[in-house]
């Protein structure tokens, strides 16, 4: 038992198959070897949010009915997991279940394990996406809402009759874009569906890898919105997030188009880029333009929060930190100065 120092040790020791999913930003898989490296402090957590790692562990045996933990741990300034917290959680697990995980826990064991500061419940939309992705990955059956969602998005129920379509059915379709003609059905439906199911669908698509044709359709709709006389900034924000799993060059082109326009660089859209579609910001010129637009919102609190969040991302840290010492635009220089002053003031003396 004294060989169990990490969650990976516990899972491997139990003979379980398991998968890790990030829940903080996009709901997406983290490779098991990568997660083991994160646990050994060999690399930072890949997708932090507000200096936390928020992730799901799904583990299962031959029956393939997964057990799931949703966990959150604080990260240090380098983005590394707090080893003491992980050790504390392992202590809770071993006290509740012993050093080997099994699929038959008593209610008392479950209660014992639930009472700790490291478990959390994700928001409903992410929970629905996660369950759909996991069930698709394990080739388990879809939810009872799947067929009804397919009927709606194929136009059989009438586009105005969306009220009975369940979110879980929509996320099931998004998790299975390559099956049952779902990708084609969604492409055709996007131009017809009512606003409410469209937002629900776009919210589900932001967590999946888009097939080429669906990426093309969404990109075209997004550009149309960008170039309209009165763009719907909230719809545009949803499109930007949905394209996070689309073609990388389309996303980069779109972010460039948005940042070139003061009108489109609304804080709602800038938040969408930071939260889901941050990949283009690995290009230094786009990162600098992004921060300039963020500074131009005049919302210093937002600037501080978003900069602090993005600079924790391993893929962006070395792009953003040099901007603190460069000679950017006056607005950005002022925002960065205010950021540094607020950081200095908030440090304990």
The C-alpha atoms of residue 123 and residue 126 are separated, in whole angstroms, by 6
Q: Which residue has the tokens 């950005």?
A: 332
* Token couple for 170: 């929509």
User: What was the pLDDT predicted at 102?
Assistant: 65
pLDDT of residue 116: 84
Report if residue 1 sits inside a domain.
Answer: no
pLDDT at residue 99, as a whole number: 65
Structural domain of residue 315, as residue ranges? 142-346
Q: Under a CB-based contact definition with an 8 Å cutoff, are residues 51 and 312 in contact?
A: yes
Q: What is the pTM of this model?
A: 0.91
CA distance 17 to 65: 11
Show the low-confidence residues of the chain (pLDDT under 50). Answer: 1, 348-349
Q: Are 160 and 198 in contact (CB under 8 A)?
A: no
Residue 181 lies in a domain: yes
Residues 78 and 220 in one domain: no
What was the pLDDT predicted at 1? 46
Say whether both 97 and 163 belong to one domain.
Answer: no
Give me the number of domains the chain comprises.
Answer: 2
Instruction: Identify whether residues 103 and 176 lie together within a single domain.
Output: no
Residue 124 lies in a domain: no
Same domain flag for 157 and 229: yes
What is the reported pLDDT for 337? 86
User: Which pLDDT does position 335 carry in this prediction?
Assistant: 87
pLDDT at 98: 72
* 276 Cβ contact list (under 8 Å, min separation 6): 25, 26, 206, 240, 241, 244
State CA 25 to chain mean position distance.
2
Judge if 334 and 233 occupy the same domain.
yes
Residue 2 included in any domain: no
The torsion angles phi and psi of 22, rounded to 5 degrees, stand at -70, 140
Q: Do both 173 and 317 map to the same domain?
A: yes
Q: From 96, 114, 132, give the residue that closes a domain.
A: 114
* Whether residue 159 sits in one domain with residue 48: no
Sequence-distant (≥ 6) Cβ neighbours of residue 253 within 8 angstroms: none
Residue 68 has φ and ψ, to the nearest 5°, of -130, 135
With beta carbons less than 8 A apart as the criterion, state whether 264 and 231 touch. Answer: yes
Same domain, 192 and 336: yes
């Amino acid at each position: 038992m004294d060989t169990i120092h990490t969650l990976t040790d516990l899972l491997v020791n139990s003979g379980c198959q398991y998968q890790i999913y990030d829940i903080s930003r996009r709901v997406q898989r983290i490779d098991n070897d990568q997660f083991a490296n994160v646990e050994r402090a060999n690399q930072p957590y890949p997708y932090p949010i507000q200096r936390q790692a928020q992730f799901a562990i799904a583990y299962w045996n031959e029956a393939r009915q997964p057990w799931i933990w949703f966990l959150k741990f604080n990260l240090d300034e380098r983005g590394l997991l707090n080893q003491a917290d992980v050790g504390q959680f392992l202590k809770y697990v071993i006290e509740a279940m012993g050093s080997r995980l099994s699929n038959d826990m008593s209610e008392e064991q479950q209660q014992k394990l639930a009472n700790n500061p490291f478990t959390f419940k994700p928001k409903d939309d992410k929970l629905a996406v996660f369950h759909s992705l996991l069930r698709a990955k394990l080739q388990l059956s879809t939810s009872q809402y799947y067929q009804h969602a397919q009927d709606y998005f194929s136009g059989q129920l009438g586009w105005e009759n969306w009220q009975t379509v369940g979110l879980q059915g929509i996320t099931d379709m998004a998790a299975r874009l390559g099956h049952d003609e779902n990708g084609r059905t969604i492409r055709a439906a996007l131009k017809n569906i009512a606003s409410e199911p469209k937002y629900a669908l776009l919210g589900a698509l932001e967590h999946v890898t888009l097939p080429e044709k669906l990426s093309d359709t969404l990109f075209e709709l997004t550009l149309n919105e960008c170039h309209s006389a009165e763009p719907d900034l909230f719809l545009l924000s949803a499109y930007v997030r949905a394209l996070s799993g689309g073609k990388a060059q389309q996303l980069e082109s779109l972010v460039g188009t948005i940042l070139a326009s003061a009108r489109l660089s609304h804080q709602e859209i800038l938040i969408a880029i930071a939260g889901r579609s941050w990949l283009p910001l690995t290009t230094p010129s786009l990162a600098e333009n992004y921060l300039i637009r963020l500074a131009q919102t005049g919302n210093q609190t937002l600037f501080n929060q978003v900069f602090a969040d993005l600079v924790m991302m391993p893929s962006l840290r070395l792009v953003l930190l040099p901007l603190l010492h460069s000679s950017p635009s006056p607005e950005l220089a002022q925002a960065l100065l205010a950021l540094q002053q607020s950081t200095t003031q908030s440090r304990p003396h």
